[in-house]
Amino acid sequence: MERILIIAEAGVNHNGDIQTAKKLIDAAAAAGADAVKFQTFKTENLVCRNAQKAAYQMETTNAGESQFDMLKKLELTPPMHKELISHCKKKSIMFLSTPFDVDSLHYLIDTGLAVIKIPSGEITNYPLLREAAKSGRRIILSSGMSTIEEVREAVAVLKKNGSTDITVLHCNTEYPTPFRDVNLKAMGTIKEEIGVSVGYSDHTPGIEAAVAAAALGAEIIEKHFTLDRNMEGPDHKASLEPDELAEMVKAVRHIEQALGDGEKKASESEKKNMAIARKSIVAGCDIKAGDKFTEDNLTAKRPGTGLSPMLWNQVIGQTAKRDFAADEMIEL
C-alpha cells in the first residue's frame, strides 16, 4: 500500500492574518502532515452580495454580517500566497490551496501548484472542472452533498478534458458532521462504481472517522485544524487543535502499517513465538517399546518443537521404537 497523503486543512482559519497562517503551517509540519491546504478565492467571483451564511457560519461568526463580508476578510492576497508557499518550502511541507473560481484556479496554476483540490461546493461547477482538467494537474475532488451520479458526471467532465489522475474524497459538508451522517462505506461505493482512487475529507469532531477511513482504504485523508478552537471564524469549532492533529497523523500512520500487504503469513516479529505457543505430539503416559500409539497414550502439549499434532492420524497405530516417558516428545 502506498503512503496515505495526509492533508492538514488550514482553510480560512488564518482569519486573514499572514502570521497566523504561517503558524498553521508550522503546526501542520510539526504534526507530521504531508501537506497544508488553504483556500484561494476572489469574494466577488465566489458569492453574491446578498447570499446567506450557512447555519454553522451564523453560529460561529458575526451574525449581522453577510457571507460576502465574512469571506472578504478571509481572502489571501497574491503576496500572502507567495509568503506562504515560501514558508512551506522552509518547513518541508507541501503547499496546497483550493480554488473557488476560475481566476483563482489560473492564479494557483501559475504559482506552479502541482495538485488541484476542488471543494465539494464546486462539484457541479462545469467551467471550473473543465479548466482544472485542462491544467494537466493531479485532481482531488471532494464530493460532499453529492449523489453518486453527480460524482460520476463530474469525473466524466474531468476525464473528457484531459484528467488522468483523479482522487475523489468522500465528504460531508456539515460542520461538525454528526457521526450518523458520515457514511464511510460510500467511499468504497465511489471506488467500485466510478473506478477512481478514493479518500476522505473529515469534518467530524475528533479523529475516529479519519482513522476508520484509513482502515477502509482511503488514499488521502484531509482534516481541518486550527491553532485554537475558541478563535472567531466559521471553521474553528469543527477543527482539530495542533496536538489533536498530531495524534491523528500518528494514528493514521499506525493504521497504514497495520494494513500490511494482505498476504496471510507469520510475521517476522511473531515467528519466535511459534515454538512456544504451538504444541507437539507427546506421550500422555509411559509408553514401552513395541506398544502401539493410541488415542489413550498420546496427547498434544507445548512446546511446538516436535511432531505437529496435525500429523496425529499418521502417528496413531504406529509402533513405538523405544520407551517414552510421560511428556516426552514422540519420535517415529
Assess whether 235 and 291 both reside in one domain. no
Assess whether 136 and 231 both reside in one domain. yes
Assess whether 141 and 281 both reside in one domain. no
Range of the domain at 212: 5-259
Q: Answer yes or no: is pLDDT of 314 > 90.
A: yes
Please state, for a pLDDT cut of 90, what percent of the chain lies above it.
87
- Residue 60 has what pLDDT? 67
- Residue 279 has what pLDDT? 98
Assess whether 43 and 189 both reside in one domain. yes
What digits encode the pLDDT tens for the residues 168-200?
999 999 989 999 999 999 999 999 999 999 999
What digits encode the pLDDT tens for the residues 264-285?
999 999 999 999 999 999 999 9
Q: What is the CATH number of the domain that holds 273?
A: 3.90.1210.10
> Mean pLDDT, to the nearest integer, of 241-270?
96
Assess whether 170 and 226 both reside in one domain. yes
- Residue 1 has what pLDDT? 53
- Residue 207 has what pLDDT? 97
Assess whether 247 and 281 both reside in one domain. no
> Mean pLDDT, to the nearest integer, of 57-66?
72
The total number of structural domains that make up the chain: 2
Per-residue CA distances from 84 to 60, 117, 243 (Å): 26, 17, 22
Domain-ending residue, one of 224, 259, 294: 259
Assess whether 163 and 311 both reside in one domain. no
Domain-ending residue, one of 259, 293, 308: 259
Assess whether 185 and 208 both reside in one domain. yes
Domain-ending residue, one of 259, 290, 316: 259
Assess whether 102 and 74 both reside in one domain. yes
Assess whether 13 and 45 both reside in one domain. yes
Assess whether 302 and 252 both reside in one domain. no
Assess whether 77 and 52 both reside in one domain. yes
What digits encode the pLDDT tens for the residues 103-147?
999 999 999 999 999 999 999 999 999 999 999 999 999 999 999
Which of 52-61, 92-101, 114-123 is the least confident region?
Answer: 52-61
- pTM (2 d.p.): 0.89
Q: What is the CATH number of the domain that holds 165?
A: 3.20.20.70
